[in-house]
Structure 1
Amino acid sequence: MLNGKILEHMDVLTVIIQNTALNGMPKWYQALTLTLFAIIATLAISMYFRIALQASEMSEMAMRFGY
């Protein structure tokens, strides 16, 4: 079962590589590019959630102290 899930993820990555400018690039460049994209996307999404969480806390403080 685990091997099937890994193959599904590899198929998705293969399609992404074939449909972008990464097609024909060296394997190390493809891996580096996809890894950097995943890191940046994860950071951006987590920062959006962090900002939303802090904004909700700030609005509670503003209502509490009458600002």
Structure 2
Amino acid sequence: MRNLEINARRLCAIDVAAMGYPREEAAALVDRFWPVIANEIRGGVVLQGEWPFTAEEIAKLDADYRALRKRG
């Protein structure tokens, strides 16, 4: 799980930077949205005992992230 989080954070940081958010704001966005990228990496497959996010949480974060990308 740790490697998944690290990779998801890196990809999210690249994505957020490409949207043009300032570094300080980008860090907070990565902290919030890395689970969306992690979910995409793992193809939505639930890892028993290792995935701390519910389907509802991911769906909400995903919707918020898509909205953010449209603004960015």
TM range (shorter): 0.3 to 0.5
Q: Larger radius of gyration, structure 1 or 2?
A: 1
Question: TM-score, normalization: structure 1?
Answer: 0.37
Question: TM-score, normalization: structure 2?
Answer: 0.35
